């Protein structure tokens, strides 16, 4: 077999540049010596790479560090405003967007209503949102990341099944890219959240972690051995459709007894109405439970028990270092957690909970949109390892 050494050298250079850029993401500044120690690259290699990145406008010399006896080191950082990306969170009736810099700092916000649940109307709503954000990007928008509920084939750019729309195998990424004139990356919205946590949040530096979202539905995303795991065609993580109550309530998916049909917000509202004899919001019920209403407290405890058992089985299968609970359902997590922890402890196999840390974060729609921007940012900073790929990469590109 003939080896294309020139091509391999180019790929190695791209990978090394990606390593350096990964070190420079975030608020911390680094000297060239720091980068060499962290990446394992030689000092001359780091010097050559940082010089190229400075020439391309991606990296800048920001400050002078403390001297350790010789000349003070020059500290480098990512040039955050060298480019921008758009992140879109798609809900049942709105396209909620943010424009972020290269460190995912939000610099502009916009949203648009969706006239109809059709692909054409959704594309129009997203285009309107992007156009509203475009002026703040000063002509340097590198692409669009979109997070939405459903089974998404990220590599194909298609929606295999949409949670809120009657879509199947819809080539949404191409539709959007053609309409906007920019690269578009789509993924499940929970994966968008995971991408953000991996780069900037509680998952940073953690090789194995899972994110479980609770709210209107129940979702899960996971990072295994440092990589976001999507499954063969984007369907991994459908925790909401784990069967937890045999012959239980019917789920929107057509099955019965799914976790989502038992603890999702519509299910909680139904259970609360049955216990209280009237309709109340989940937050109203939370207040009642904290004020001593045992009927409302019982509904939250049962939800925590079901969730704890389901997540316990996830821990048995994946053995993560960290578990993150997120989504609007975490507003009442104090009412859920006691029963959740008991059920988790009863379910997890002996020893697998050792060292497991549990974090909770409440995410609003803007935070989900920032997560969608993180999907694209992570891709932009990766070396392009796909053959015949037209997807964007920041490596080798002038940021202007």
313-331 pLDDT, tens digit per residue, is 999 999 999 999 988 888 8
Binned at pLDDT 50, 70 and 90, residue 388 comes out as: very low
Q: Is the pLDDT of residue 9 over 60?
A: yes
Rounded distance, CA 311 to CA 263, Å?
13
Q: How far is CA 32 from the centre of its chain?
A: 30
Mean of the pLDDT values across residues 169-180?
A: 94
130-134, 177-181, 324-328, 362-366 — which is least confidently predicted?
362-366
Q: In what order do the strands lie in the sheet with 106-113?
A: 106-113, 94-100, 84-90, 141-148, 184-188
* Residue 182 CB coordination number (10 Å): 17
Q: Is the pLDDT of residue 381 over 80?
A: no
208-265 pLDDT, tens digit per residue, is 999 999 988 899 999 999 999 998 877 888 899 999 998 889 988 888 999 999 999 9
142-151 pLDDT, tens digit per residue, is 999 999 988 8
Mean of the pLDDT values across residues 172-176?
A: 95
Mean of the pLDDT values across residues 68-83?
A: 84
- Whole-number pLDDT of residue 8: 64
Q: Is the pLDDT of residue 387 over 50?
A: no
Q: Is the pLDDT of residue 167 over 80?
A: yes
Q: What region does 248 belong to: left with phi over 0, alpha with psi -120 to 50, or beta?
A: beta
Given a contact cutoff of 8 angstroms between Cβ atoms, the answer to whether 118 and 157 are in contact is: no
Average pLDDT of the chain? 87
Q: What is the pTM of this model?
A: 0.81
The dihedral sign for the CA sequence 360, 366, 368, 373: negative
Rounded distance, CA 285 to CA 277, Å?
12
- Whole-number pLDDT of residue 99: 96
Helix (H) or strand (E) holding 8: helix 5-24
What structural domains and CATH numbers belong to the chain? 5-78 (1.10.10.10), 83-182+366-380 (3.30.420.40), 205-361 (3.30.420.40)
* Residue 364 CB coordination number (10 Å): 12
Query: Catalytic pick from 189, 321, 364, 365?
Result: 189
- Whole-number pLDDT of residue 386: 45
- Whole-number pLDDT of residue 335: 95
Binned at pLDDT 50, 70 and 90, residue 310 comes out as: very high
**How far, CA to CA in Å, does 252 sit from each of 48, 259, 262?**
56, 11, 11
Binned at pLDDT 50, 70 and 90, residue 365 comes out as: confident
- Whole-number pLDDT of residue 393: 55
* Residue 1 CB coordination number (10 Å): 2
109-118, 185-194, 293-302, 357-366 — which is least confidently predicted?
357-366
Binned at pLDDT 50, 70 and 90, residue 155 comes out as: confident
Q: Is the pLDDT of residue 338 over 90?
A: yes
123-141 pLDDT, tens digit per residue, is 999 999 999 999 999 888 9
5-19, 80-94, 121-135 — which is least confidently predicted?
5-19
Binned at pLDDT 50, 70 and 90, residue 6 comes out as: very low
Given a contact cutoff of 8 angstroms between Cβ atoms, the answer to whether 255 and 247 are in contact is: no
- Whole-number pLDDT of residue 196: 86
Mean of the pLDDT values across residues 68-86?
A: 86
**Is residue 291 flagged as an active site residue?**
no
Mean of the pLDDT values across residues 12-21?
A: 83
Q: Is 14 exposed, middle or buried (0-12, 13-18, 19+ CB in 10 A)?
A: middle
* Residue 40 CB coordination number (10 Å): 8
């Amino acid at each position: 077999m003939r080896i294309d050494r020139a091509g391999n050298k180019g790929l190695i250079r791209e990978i090394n540049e990606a390593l350096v850029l990964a070190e420079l993401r975030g608020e911390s500044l680094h000297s060239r010596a720091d980068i060499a120690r962290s990446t394992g690259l030689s000092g001359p290699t780091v010097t050559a790479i940082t010089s190229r990145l400075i020439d391309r406008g991606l990296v800048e010399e920001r400050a002078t560090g403390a001297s350790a006896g010789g000349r003070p080191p020059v500290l480098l950082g990512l040039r955050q405003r060298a480019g921008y990306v758009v992140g879109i969170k798609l809900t049942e009736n709105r396209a909620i967007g943010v424009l972020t810099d290269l460190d995912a700092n939000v610099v502009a916000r916009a949203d648009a209503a969706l006239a109809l649940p059709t692909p054409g109307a959704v594309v129009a709503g997203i285009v309107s949102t992007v156009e509203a954000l475009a002026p703040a990007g000063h002509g340097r928008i590198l692409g669009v990341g979109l997070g939405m509920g459903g089974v998404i084939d990220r590599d194909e750019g298609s929606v295999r099944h949409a949670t809120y729309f009657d879509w199947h195998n819809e080539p949404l990424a191409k539709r959007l890219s053609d309409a906007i004139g920019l690269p578009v990356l789509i993924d499940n919205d929970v994966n968008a959240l995971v991408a953000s946590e991996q780069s900037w949040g509680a998952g940073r530096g953690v090789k194995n972690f899972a994110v479980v979202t609770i709210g209107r539905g129940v979702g899960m995303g996971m990072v295994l051995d440092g990589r976001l795991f999507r499954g063969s065609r984007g369907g991994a993580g459908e925790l909401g459709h784990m069967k937890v109550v045999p012959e239980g309530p019917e789920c929107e998916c057509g099955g019965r007894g799914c976790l989502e049909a038992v603890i999702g917000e519509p299910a909680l509202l139904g259970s609360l109405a049955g216990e209280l004899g009237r309709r109340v919001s989940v937050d109203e019920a939370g207040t009642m439970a904290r004020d001593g209403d045992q009927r409302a407290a019982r509904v939250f405890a049962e939800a925590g028990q079901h969730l704890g058992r389901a997540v316990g089985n996830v821990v048995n299968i994946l053995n993560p270092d960290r578990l993150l609970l997120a989504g609007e359902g975490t507003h009442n997590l104090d009412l859920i957690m006691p029963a959740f922890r008991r059920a988790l402890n009863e379910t997890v196999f002996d020893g697998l909970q050792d060292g497991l840390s549990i974090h909770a974060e409440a995410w609003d729609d803007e935070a989900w949109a920032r997560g969608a921007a993180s999907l694209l940012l992570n891709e932009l900073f990766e070396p392009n390892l796909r053959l015949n790929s037209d997807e964007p990469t920041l490596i080798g590109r002038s940021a202007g």
